Amino acid sequence: MSLQAVGVLGTGKYVPERVLTNHDLENMVDTNDEWIVTRTGIRERRIASPEQASSDLAYEASKIALNKAGIAPEEIDLIIVATITPDMSFPSTACILQDKLGAKKAAAFDLSAACSGFIYSLANATNFIATGTYKYALVVGAECLSKITDYTDRNTCILFGDGAGAVVLGPVAEGRGFKSFELGADGTGGDLLKIAGGGSRCPASPQSLEGKQHFIYMAGAEVFKFAVRIMGSAAEDALRKAGIAKSEVDLLVPHQANIRIIQSALQRLDLSEDKCMINLDKYGNVSAASIPIALAEADEEGRVKEGDCIVLVGFGGGLTWGASVLIW
């Protein structure tokens, strides 16, 4: 069976209006702008309003992506939402989004792979289209991390923000589109980055709330070491699978967790910073939404043109990682 080439037909992003700066955080926890900027590269992040949930952010980003692709919601066959902050346990945020968009014929599900979720979702959707099962898919990364962040914990609260990015995938000309995916997981590191409460292991209870188990826990330094190792190697593996040399890469779109992690990946790939999309200074770490927001922003800014070789790479809780090579 010959496979259909699959690529990105449109991108969109949405971030909430409210800005939380490093200086604002100085008034909330024992931290300072200089520490945050030098250790992470982050200057500010966006925070959803109390009324906004992940599906609301996803909806705004999706409308833009659909519009750019020139595809009506009714034409979409599949919706995948990558998120660790679903509106609720179920129904899935993808089903809620399907309803908001009126994408009546679309199958819809959420995918949980933390910050790697968007790349895992792209791989899923690409395979459905490549094999002819579906024609058009909407893939979204959407997060309201502010709702699961402990704003008394300086180790985590300086990092995270809210937002959504979306892409419409569909058939493209032979030679273009996704050339490879490299996905991985190491469950032995699951305890390094997690939300312990609210699931079937530790259901919500007065004790779980008191123990702050509904907030993100992260062993930052351990995750940092893993990230530095995996970002470069996952991107290299994806390039090798695609048969493309590092020197042919036009733009790296990495997960926006920490500027030092991004710099180490650039070093490993022999790429200069001008070949990398970096926007964590404005949005912080938006988990599954980081990569699609960065890709949509690169698209908006005209930093990607037809035929460009783009490498997407991310890592996150699970532990998980993912990389992909895409010819625009």
Q: Choosing from 115, 157, 276, 309, which is the catalytic residue?
A: 115
Our CA angle for 201, 195, 162, nearest 5°, is 145
276 is catalytic: no
* Cβ contact 46:19 at 8 Å: yes
82 is an interface residue for ligand UT7 by CB under 6 A = no
| Residue appearing with tokens 């995916």 | 181
316 is an interface residue for ligand UT7 by CB under 6 A = yes
Candidate ranges 73-81, 142-150, 219-227, 275-283; the one touching ligand UT7 (CB under 6 A): 219-227
Q: Could you give the string, one character per residue 93-132, with x where binding to ligand UT7 holds by CB under 6 A and - elsewhere?
A: ----------------------x-----------------
* Cβ contact 286:162 at 8 Å: yes
Q: Which of 4, 19, 35, 91 binds ligand UT7 (CB under 6 A)?
A: 35
Cα(18)–Cα(8) distance, integer angstroms = 29
Nearest distance from residue 133's CB to ligand UT7, in Å? 31
Q: Choosing from 22, 124, 279, 285, which is the catalytic residue?
A: 285
For ligand UT7, give the closer residue by CB, 198 or 220.
220
151 is an interface residue for ligand UT7 by CB under 6 A = no
For ligand UT7, give the closer residue by CB, 224 or 308.
224
- The 3-state secondary structure of 64-75 reads HHHHHHCCCHHH
Residues within window 236-295 making contact with ligand UT7, judged by CB under 6 A? 257-258, 285, 287
H or E segment and range at residue 280:
helix 280-283
* Cβ contact 109:128 at 8 Å: no
Count residues near ligand UT7 (CB under 6 A).
20
Q: Choosing from 124, 157, 255, 309, which is the catalytic residue?
A: 255
Cα(122)–Cα(54) distance, integer angstroms = 19
- Residue 160, classed as helix, strand or coil, is strand
Nearest distance from residue 40's CB to ligand UT7, in Å? 5
How far does Cα 229 stand from its chain's mean position?
Answer: 19
* Cβ contact 147:289 at 8 Å: no
285 is catalytic: yes
- Closest by CA to 40, choosing from 251, 246, 223, 236, is 223
For ligand UT7, give the closer residue by CB, 35 or 151.
35
Provide the binding-site residues for ligand UT7, judged by CB under 6 A. Answer: 31, 35, 39-40, 115, 154-155, 158, 193, 218, 220-221, 223-224, 227, 257-258, 285, 287, 316
